[in-house]
Chain A
Amino acid sequence: MSKRYLIRRLLLVVPVLLGTILIVFALVFLTPGDPVARLAGNKPLAPSTYNEIRTRYHLDQPFVVQYFYYLDGLAHGDLGATFTGRDVTDILKERFPVTLKLTLGAFAIEVVLGLLLAVVAAVKRRTLLDSAILVFTLFMITVPVIVLGFVLQYVFGVKLHWLPVAGIRDGPSSYILPSLTLGLGLAASLGRLARSNVLDNMAGEHIRAAIARGLPRRRVVGRHVLKNSLVPIVTILGLDFAYLMGGAVITETIFNLPGLGYSLITGIKTQNGPLVVGLVTLSAIIFVFTNLFVDLLCARIDPRISYE
């Protein structure tokens, strides 16, 4: 891998971000409705108040002008403010740790449980255990997050009183149920995908040779099979990580977690351009860098992959 490649990839971030901002900005702009008029419900604001707020947020300007005001602010590190006067930067700073914790929880479940399911199912293929894992994973993939979340809340919160069901005031335990809600489905998908990958590799001649030479099965699977299956798995994991960091809208809402997804709902609901654009841009940045990291990691895992 060359340095030039790395620089090229980093430079690519700029057009991606400009494009993302433009598209999201346009989408929010084109949404029908008048966010300022709704600040007092269905009661009319004083004309002076209405006009002042519209001027303050440049809502009286055409789209292109608004877009350049936003870019200008961005160049000065100012992400704008919500219609209630809160700085978007403050909101992002406040929300990021919540989403990060949820992501790490869900991601840990995906990696550990997903790989475990895959390896067990592959090694014990065509046994009752494999079928049981198939049923379990298919079920987890099919059941919608909103249903799974509610069932977990009901069973472990309302009925058993074991775990908190809303908010983050109980520290790490607040994240257990939401992480499961997100992580189980991802683990199941990963389990299915990785199983077939592991199976493909196990059919490889080098594996048969290793087994024939009497290497312990555990070591064959761990060292030779898994390592060779890693590239597609890491790619998927990278995508999932970036997806999670974008803010899990449904999970954060049903568990009342004030993260990025929760804010996105508020932003869309109040038609707040700067907030929505800020959130989506942040998630685009995370996506781009996660992808870059994954590509670099894949090159490390498999020396045959090279970038020019």
Chain B
Amino acid sequence: MRGSLRVLAVGLSLAFVAAACSSNSSGGASESPGQQGGTYSFYNGEPNHLIPQNDYESAGTQAFQGLWTRLVDFDPTTYKPVPAQADSITQSSDGLTYDITIKSGWTFHDGTPVTAQSYVDAWNYAAYGPNAYILNFFFDKIEGYDALNPSSGTPKTKELSGLKVNGDNEFTVTLTHPFSQFEYTLGFDAFDPLPKAFFDDPKGFDEQPIGDGPYMMDGKWQHDQTINLQRYPDYAGTPGFADKVELRIYQGDAAWLDFQAGNLDVTLVGSDHLTEARKSYSDTLSEEPGASLLYLNLPLYQPQYQNKEVRQALSLAIDRQAVMNAILVAETPADDFMPPPVTGYRQGACQYCQFNVDLAKQKLQEGGGFNGTLTLNFYADDTTLEQAMEAVANQWHDNLGITTKLNAIPQNTYFSGSGPIYTKKMTGPWWDGWTEDYPSIQDFLEPIYGANGGYNTSGYLNKTFDQTLDTGNQQSLEASIPTYQQADDMILEDMPAIPWGTIGFNTVHDDNVTNVVKVPGLDELDLSKVQVVGASGASAAAS
């Protein structure tokens, strides 16, 4: 097949970017009393599943944003959790138990009531190992998880001992260890409720899911074409403006062309089209900081990278802004170990993220210099990334006199369990990224730098850091944030990785719609806020 390899490469790199970015936009200042009605279309990818507990990528979560109401949403300025489907969430004084009350009178799209049991059943199903649901790992903090996921054999029970229904609208969750950020995690789709209909036919449910959100499915999921949504007339929360939403599914560059051709109302703008969008669509372009951090991870298990001064020097010696001005591989230089829309982020916290050649040289000397060649690793077949990595390597060479080498690793192996990242065989810094699960500073610290962090691939080990995280985990949510910031200060000094930048959640739209805004704290478009221009008020009578 002529030329298929080339397209494959392009497809792969887009897929990687898509995993790290999603869509959003803000700037819809005040809630104008817009009229209901009309249809609009928005870009989406092809989700893996439309069952919230079995999907872990941005195309799915964007659909869930309309189809489900999460227990909590996030505050637009502090990014702290605020109740959505939950009425109240109360933490016990020992921090182990959460009492969750949900709003009464809410229904699923099939008319059945949303009850405490809908949550408990859904969570049990997802936590049950043999069901092999992708988000199973989200439940590992709840008591009884191990019994549902034994290291061998079939589990003897199908229910988490830590979940207890106390009535139609109330249930309690008991954790194995205190975890102050548990309320944040409830904003993730793993914790959405499922109706009875799901358990009868999970596979059929996947094609036409029934949620409790402002929008319901309008027909079945048309794979690789569209997911059509229509307003749920009996929604108990704030109803959506548009009557219908078409989530059009695109692969590759077609969405951008379709938008330019006037066939798509709202689309996301990736780094590759940002320059063009700033020029041609500046009136509707919205650039908002997104929920990912791109960074250069460091193999602390290699002798060359064991002195923190050397790591500080490497970070100080790169002019992030200059590289980004020329090559759009991220859009805003990082200045903390997390992106801005996260509780606990501090602007300018990373002193070693500034560009300062003199200080870099001084630090390198203090750290005993750099012996041998520095190998900079990244995944292959992404020319933009390769150019950026070349620029970084050149700066290390020019500013610190280090001999550098570039190493492109095939994408299939890069993040695989047997690849060099997980097996700790990286020879030098490597291009990496982290997309949040929930907008808390803790999600950017413990999983990546904690001793037991699921993605601690640098081998960073700092007992004080771990103890501080542990203290934060045991505090109240309110008190925990300053504690986590203390932990952040430790890695800002130790620099176990080199923060690079953040990707924006950027959208553009045509004249057909207004009020295109992002969901606070998450990289998603708020589907129910978008208004269709000139929509007739007639359809609003229904709601």
Which positions in A face B, CB cutoff 8 Å? 31-34, 37-49, 52-53, 56, 84-86, 91, 94, 144-146, 153-154, 157-158, 161, 164-169, 246, 249-250, 253-256, 258, 261-266, 268-269, 271
Which positions in B face A, CB cutoff 8 Å? 1-4, 6-8, 11-12, 15, 19, 46, 48-49, 56-57, 129-134, 136-137, 140, 148-151, 203, 206, 223-226, 248, 250-255, 257-258, 260-263, 410-413, 415-419, 421, 432-435, 447, 454-455
Contacts of A158 in B (CB 8 A): 257, 260-261
B415 touches A164 (CB 8 A): no
Given known A-B contacts A34-B418, A146-B3, A269-B15, A166 and B258 have beta carbons under 8 A apart: yes
Of the A-B pairs whose beta carbons lie under 8 Å apart in the complex, a sample of 27, sorted by A's number, is: A31-B412, A32-B410, A33-B410, A34-B416, A41-B56, A41-B415, A42-B432, A46-B140, A49-B133, A52-B130, A85-B206, A94-B223, A146-B6, A153-B257, A157-B258, A157-B261, A158-B261, A165-B258, A166-B250, A167-B248, A169-B225, A249-B1, A249-B4, A253-B254, A265-B7, A265-B11, A269-B15
Given known A-B contacts A33-B412, A53-B132, A46 and B149 have beta carbons under 8 A apart: yes
B252 touches A256 (CB 8 A): yes
Expressed in whole angstroms, the Cα–Cα distance for A4 and B418 within the complex equals 53
Expressed in whole angstroms, the Cα–Cα distance for A91 and B222 within the complex equals 11
B224 touches A161 (CB 8 A): no
A268 touches B8 (CB 8 A): yes
Contacts of A47 in B (CB 8 A): 149, 151
Contacts of B2 in A (CB 8 A): 145, 250
Expressed in whole angstroms, the minimum distance between the Cβ of B95 and any Cβ of chain A is 24
* In the A-B complex, the 4 residue pairs with the closest CB atoms: A33-B412, A48-B129, A256-B254, A258-B224
Expressed in whole angstroms, the minimum distance between the Cβ of A131 and any Cβ of chain B is 28
Across the interface, name the chain A residue whose C-beta is closest to B4. Answer: A249
Expressed in whole angstroms, the minimum distance between the Cβ of B81 and any Cβ of chain A is 21
B435 touches A41 (CB 8 A): yes
Across the interface, name the chain B residue whose C-beta is closest to A249. Answer: B4
Listed residue (A42, A44, A86, A253) with the most chain B CB atoms within 10 angstroms of its CB: A42
B203 touches A167 (CB 8 A): no
B417 touches A84 (CB 8 A): no
Contacts of A44 in B (CB 8 A): 137, 417, 454-455
Expressed in whole angstroms, the minimum distance between the Cβ of A39 and any Cβ of chain B is 6
A37 touches B257 (CB 8 A): no
Given known A-B contacts A40-B134, A42-B433, A254 and B253 have beta carbons under 8 A apart: yes
Contacts of A42 in B (CB 8 A): 19, 415, 421, 432-434, 455
Expressed in whole angstroms, the Cα–Cα distance for A37 and B136 within the complex equals 14
B129 touches A49 (CB 8 A): yes
Contacts of A261 in B (CB 8 A): 1, 4
- Beyond A145-B3, A166-B261, A169-B226, 20 extra complex contacts between A and B, CB < 8 Å: A33-B410, A33-B413, A37-B415, A37-B416, A38-B416, A40-B137, A42-B434, A43-B447, A47-B151, A48-B136, A53-B132, A56-B132, A158-B257, A161-B262, A166-B255, A166-B258, A167-B254, A167-B258, A250-B6, A255-B254
Listed residue (A37, A43, A250) with the most chain B CB atoms within 10 angstroms of its CB: A43
Contacts of B416 in A (CB 8 A): 32-34, 37-38
Listed residue (B6, B223, B454) with the most chain A CB atoms within 10 angstroms of its CB: B223
Expressed in whole angstroms, the minimum distance between the Cβ of B297 and any Cβ of chain A is 11
Expressed in whole angstroms, the Cα–Cα distance for A153 and B258 within the complex equals 9
Contacts of B223 in A (CB 8 A): 86, 91, 94, 258
Contacts of A165 in B (CB 8 A): 254, 257-258, 261, 263
Expressed in whole angstroms, the Cα–Cα distance for A246 and B4 within the complex equals 12
Expressed in whole angstroms, the Cα–Cα distance for A34 and B8 within the complex equals 17
Contacts of A37 in B (CB 8 A): 415-417
Expressed in whole angstroms, the minimum distance between the Cβ of B351 and any Cβ of chain A is 28
Expressed in whole angstroms, the minimum distance between the Cβ of B146 and any Cβ of chain A is 10
A249 touches B7 (CB 8 A): yes
A166 touches B1 (CB 8 A): no
Expressed in whole angstroms, the Cα–Cα distance for A175 and B410 within the complex equals 35
Contacts of A254 in B (CB 8 A): 252-254
Expressed in whole angstroms, the Cα–Cα distance for A180 and B26 within the complex equals 40
Contacts of B57 in A (CB 8 A): 41
B137 touches A45 (CB 8 A): yes
Across the interface, name the chain B residue whose C-beta is closest to A243. Answer: B1
B224 touches A262 (CB 8 A): yes
Expressed in whole angstroms, the Cα–Cα distance for A103 and B84 within the complex equals 50
A269 touches B8 (CB 8 A): yes
A166 touches B455 (CB 8 A): no
A45 touches B254 (CB 8 A): no
Expressed in whole angstroms, the Cα–Cα distance for A259 and B182 within the complex equals 43
Expressed in whole angstroms, the Cα–Cα distance for A46 and B206 within the complex equals 22
Q: Identify which of B263, B418, B435 contacts A166 (C-beta below 8 A).
A: B263
Expressed in whole angstroms, the Cα–Cα distance for A114 and B225 within the complex equals 33
Expressed in whole angstroms, the minimum distance between the Cβ of A14 and any Cβ of chain B is 24
Expressed in whole angstroms, the minimum distance between the Cβ of A98 and any Cβ of chain B is 9
Expressed in whole angstroms, the minimum distance between the Cβ of B424 and any Cβ of chain A is 14
Expressed in whole angstroms, the minimum distance between the Cβ of B233 and any Cβ of chain A is 26
Expressed in whole angstroms, the Cα–Cα distance for A256 and B455 within the complex equals 35
A38 touches B4 (CB 8 A): no
Expressed in whole angstroms, the Cα–Cα distance for A45 and B150 within the complex equals 15
Contacts of B250 in A (CB 8 A): 166-167, 256
Contacts of A265 in B (CB 8 A): 4, 7-8, 11, 251
Expressed in whole angstroms, the minimum distance between the Cβ of A68 and any Cβ of chain B is 23
Listed residue (A38, A39, A250, A256) with the most chain B CB atoms within 10 angstroms of its CB: A256
Given known A-B contacts A41-B57, A45-B137, A161-B261, A84 and B254 have beta carbons under 8 A apart: no
Expressed in whole angstroms, the Cα–Cα distance for A86 and B203 within the complex equals 9
Expressed in whole angstroms, the Cα–Cα distance for A45 and B434 within the complex equals 15
Contacts of A94 in B (CB 8 A): 223
Expressed in whole angstroms, the minimum distance between the Cβ of B321 and any Cβ of chain A is 26
A164 touches B263 (CB 8 A): yes
A32 touches B435 (CB 8 A): no
Q: Identify which of A46, A85, A164, A246 contacts B129 (C-beta below 8 A).
A: A46
Expressed in whole angstroms, the minimum distance between the Cβ of A216 and any Cβ of chain B is 42
Across the interface, name the chain A residue whose C-beta is closest to B11. Answer: A265
Expressed in whole angstroms, the Cα–Cα distance for A253 and B10 within the complex equals 10
